[in-house]
Amino acid sequence: MLNTHTRFYSRLGIILVLIYILLFLSTGLDKMATYSPWLAFLVCVALSVGGFVVSILSIIGKRTELTPYLSAFFSFLLILFTIFVFLLPEGGLPPAIPLLFNE
């Protein structure tokens, strides 16, 4: 069953990465973060981790094209970016969500 859905998983991974990038570039995440940083964080985590998992499923399904590998790579970068933006302090400013560094 996994082999029959690899193209769907590959496209879904790309779509999730593109939605994350479009939300970031259209300042939708900034507006969401001003109301609730937790909501923006959960949306970012869901999109990036979901894209990574779906891309890995596409790779496991014996997909021999380059797109699932690129999608998994960009999803992993988006996971790291989400951690950097929401959980790490920058230039003396506290993080948006103080889980790791409490004041």
| pLDDT single digits (tens) 44-88 | 899 999 999 998 888 887 767 788 888 899 999 999 998 888 887
Q: Which two tokens stand for residue 4?
A: 């029959």
What is the structure's pLDDT at 101?
59
What is the number of helices (H) and of strands (E) in the chain? 4, 0
Answer whether residue 50 is part of any domain: yes
* Domains in the chain, number: 1
Domain that includes residue 82, residue range: 6-87
Q: Which two tokens stand for residue 39?
A: 């909501």
Answer whether residue 99 is part of any domain: no
What is the structure's pLDDT at 30?
74
Answer whether residue 93 is part of any domain: no
Answer whether residue 51 is part of any domain: yes
Answer whether residue 100 is part of any domain: no
Answer whether residue 1 is part of any domain: no
Whether pTM exceeds 0.85: no
Summarize the chain as % helix, strand, coil (round to 5): 70, 0, 25
Answer whether residue 49 is part of any domain: yes
At which residue do the structure tokens 């082999």 appear? 3
